Chain A
Amino acid sequence: MTDTTTDLVRLSATETAGVIARGEASAADVAKAHLDRIGAVDGAVHAFLHVDAEGALAAAREVDDKRARGEEQGPLAGVPLALKDVMAQRGVPTTCGSKMLEGWRPPYDSTVVTRLRAAGVVILGKTNMDEFAMGSSTEHSAYGATHNPWDLDRIPGGSGGGSAAAVAAYEAPLAIGTDTGGSIRQPAAVTGTVGVKPTYGGVSRYGLVAFSSSLDQAGPCSRTVLDAALLHEAIGGHDPRDSTSIDAPLPPVVAAAREGAQGRLDGVRVGVVRELSGEGYQPGVEQRFHEAVDLLRELGATVTEVSCPHFQYALSAYYLIAPSECSSNLARFDAMRYGLRVGDDGEHSAEEVMALTRAAGFGPEVKRRIMLGTYALSSGYYDAYYGSAQKVRTLISRDFAQAYEQVDVLVSPTTPTTAFPLGSKLEDPIAMYLNDLCTIPSNLAGGAAMSLPCGLSPDDGLPVGLQIMAPAMADDRLYRVGAAVETALADRWGGNLLTQAPELQEKA
Chain B
Amino acid sequence: MSSITRDEVAHLARLARLQLPEDELEHYAGQLDAILHAVARVTEVAGEDVPPTSHPLPLVNVTRPDETHRSLTAEEALSGAPAAEDSRFRVPRILGEEA
Contacts and interface: CB of A to CB of B under 8 A. Distances in A.
Interface string B42-65: 110110001111111101001010
Interface in A181-208: 200-201
B43 to A, nearest CB: 5
Contacts of B18: 355, 358-359, 362, 367, 370-371
Contacts of B17: 331, 334, 351, 354-355, 358
B42 to A, nearest CB: 4
A107 B42 CA distance: 42
Nearest to A242: B62
A446 B81 contact: no
Given A334-B17, A378-B15, A446-B57, 17 more contacts: A107-B80, A201-B57, A240-B64, A316-B41, A338-B81, A339-B82, A352-B92, A356-B19, A368-B35, A371-B18, A374-B16, A375-B4, A387-B52, A390-B52, A391-B45, A394-B46, A429-B34
Contact of B93 (A327, A337, A349): A349
Interface stretch (A36-44, A340-348, A450-458, A478-486): A340-348
A354 B15 CA distance: 12
Contacts of A240: 64
Given A344-B92, A355-B17, A371-B13, A337 B81 contact: yes
Interface of A: 104-108, 200-201, 214, 240, 243-244, 246, 310, 313, 315-317, 319-320, 327, 331, 334-341, 344, 346, 348-356, 358-359, 362, 367-368, 370-372, 374-375, 378, 384-385, 387-395, 397, 429-430, 433, 444-446, 472
Given A317-B42, A327-B16, A352-B19, A368 B31 contact: yes
A316 B41 CA distance: 7
B45 A341 contact: no
Nearest to A108: B72
Contact of A395 (B14, B45, B56): B45
Given A200-B57, A337-B80, A384-B1, A355 B19 contact: yes
A327 B17 CA distance: 11
Contacts of B9: 371
A371 B16 contact: yes
Nearest to A367: B18
DSSP majority for the B interface? loop
A340 B82 contact: yes
B87 interface: no
CB-based closest 8 A-B pairs: A446-B56, A391-B46, A338-B80, A390-B52, A341-B82, A107-B76, A355-B19, A316-B39
Contact of B12 (A106, A374, A392, A393): A374
A387 B45 CA distance: 12
Interface-central residue, B15, B42, B62, B64, by most chain A CB under 10 Å: B42
A340 B81 CA distance: 9
Interface-central residue, B4, B35, B95, by most chain A CB under 10 Å: B35
B26 to A, nearest CB: 13
Contact of B35 (A104, A338, A367, A372): A372
A353 B93 CA distance: 10
A317 B9 CA distance: 21
Interface string B71-92: 0100011011111000001011
Contact of B56 (A108, A214, A359): A214
Contacts of B13: 371
Contacts of B72: 107-108
A48 B32 CA distance: 32
B40 A316 contact: yes
A449 to B, nearest CB: 13
Contacts of B83: 341, 344
A351 B95 CA distance: 9
Nearest to A316: B39
A433 B93 CA distance: 40
A94 B77 CA distance: 16
A240 B8 CA distance: 42
A310 B56 contact: no
Contacts of B34: 429-430
A340 to B, nearest CB: 7
14 contacts: A105-B79, A107-B77, A243-B59, A244-B59, A335-B82, A336-B82, A339-B82, A358-B16, A359-B19, A368-B28, A370-B16, A371-B32, A391-B42, A391-B53
A374 B41 CA distance: 19
B82 A338 contact: yes
A313 B42 contact: yes
Contacts of A394: 46, 50-53
A341 B91 CA distance: 10
A393 B53 contact: yes
B21 to A, nearest CB: 8
Given A368-B32, A394-B52, A336 B91 contact: yes
